[in-house]
């Protein structure tokens, strides 16, 4: 994303121009469709294209879907290579591919964080806030928001000098905010 590029509202694919609705809530609906285990792959593609392209004429193809996903929805997180003082690449953490946020399970925390950081009610932004804007704001949340604190908890690893009590407290918090649970535990 470049700040001098307009947000995408249409695109050309195989000499055809398509209007596309990339409002963040619409893209989240697409993710829900993709996660629906009751649907076959071709049904997921058809529904996702209907959500994004609306009623305009198009041929629902996997190639069209792949183009849209790769060009407009998927945002690749590039891993930075860190170097030591001698210029040697540092070893990569084992959890680099580990997921620290889930757009479905963390909905309340994301909503609260946007409200706190940007005074933005995401429900009022439905149909307005572009997917790229949403992702940029989410990635830029300040450290004092609940979502950033939860991400820090999920990323925490014990280190020397930490007390036993602190380690136990952090492990308890990691269990509470773990993403691999079907139902996250309620926080009192």
Give tens-digit pLDDT for 45-74.
Answer: 999 999 999 988 778 789 999 999 999 998
Tokens of 4: 């001098």
pLDDT (average), residues 101-119: 96
Instruction: Mark whether 157 and 101 lie in a shared domain.
Output: yes
Instruction: Mark whether 36 and 99 lie in a shared domain.
Output: no
High-pLDDT (> 90) share of the chain, %? 71
Say which residue, 54 or 2, is predicted with more confidence: 54
Instruction: Please tell me the distance from the alpha carbon of residue 28 to that of residue 51, in angstroms, as a whole number.
Output: 10
Instruction: Mark whether 14 and 65 lie in a shared domain.
Output: yes
Give tens-digit pLDDT for 18-45.
Answer: 999 999 999 999 999 999 999 999 999 9
In the prediction, which pLDDT does 80 show? 46
Q: In this model, does residue 183 exceed pLDDT 50? A: no
Give tens-digit pLDDT for 159-182.
Answer: 888 999 999 999 999 999 998 754
Instruction: Mark whether 65 and 135 lie in a shared domain.
Output: no
In the prediction, which pLDDT does 186 show? 44
Instruction: Mark whether 68 and 102 lie in a shared domain.
Output: no
**Phi, psi for residue 12 in degrees, rounded to 5:** -110, 130
In the prediction, which pLDDT does 5 show? 85
- Give the count of beta carbons closer than 10 Å to the beta carbon of residue 7: 11
**Average model confidence (pLDDT) across the chain:** 86
Domain that includes residue 20, residue range? 10-73
Instruction: Mark whether 30 and 68 lie in a shared domain.
Output: yes
Residue 17 within any structural domain of the chain: yes
Say which residue, 113 or 79, is predicted with more confidence: 113
With helix as H, strand as E and coil as C, how does the chain read? CCCCCCCCCEEEECCEEEECCCEHHHHHHHHHHHHCCCCCHHHHHHHHHHHHHCCCCCCCCHHHHHHHHHHHHCCCCCCCCCECCCCCECCCCHHHHCCCCCCCCCHHHHHHHHHHHHCCCCCCCCCCCEHHHHHHHHHCCCCCCHHHHHHHHHHCCCCCCCCHHHHHHHHHHHHHCCCCCCCCCCCC
**Total domains, the chain:** 2
Instruction: Mark whether 128 and 98 lie in a shared domain.
Output: yes
In the prediction, which pLDDT does 180 show? 77
Instruction: Mark whether 100 and 145 lie in a shared domain.
Output: yes
| pTM as predicted | 0.78
Q: Using 50, 70 and 90 to split pLDDT, how confident is the model at 3?
A: confident
Q: In this model, does residue 89 exceed pLDDT 70? A: no
Q: Using 50, 70 and 90 to split pLDDT, how confident is the model at 184?
A: very low
């Amino acid at each position: 994303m470049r700040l001098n590029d307009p947000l995408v509202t249409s695109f050309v694919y195989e000499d055809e121009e398509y209007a596309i609705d990339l409002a963040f809530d619409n893209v989240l609906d697409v993710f829900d469709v993709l996660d629906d285990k009751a649907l076959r792959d071709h049904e997921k593609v058809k529904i996702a294209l209907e959500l994004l392209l609306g009623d305009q004429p198009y041929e629902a193809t996997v190639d069209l879907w792949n183009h849209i996903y790769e060009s407009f929805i998927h945002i690749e997180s590039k891993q930075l290579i860190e170097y030591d003082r001698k210029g040697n690449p540092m070893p990569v953490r084992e959890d680099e591919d580990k997921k620290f946020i889930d757009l479905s399970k963390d909905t309340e925390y994301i909503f609260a964080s946007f409200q706190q950081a940007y005074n933005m009610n995401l429900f009022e932004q439905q149909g307005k806030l572009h997917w790229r804007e949403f992702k940029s704001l989410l990635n830029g949340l300040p450290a004092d928001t609940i979502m950033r604190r939860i991400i820090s908890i999920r990323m925490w690893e014990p280190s020397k000098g930490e007390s036993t009590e602190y380690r136990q407290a952090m492990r308890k918090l990691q269990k509470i905010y773990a993403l691999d649970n079907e139902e996250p535990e309620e926080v009192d």
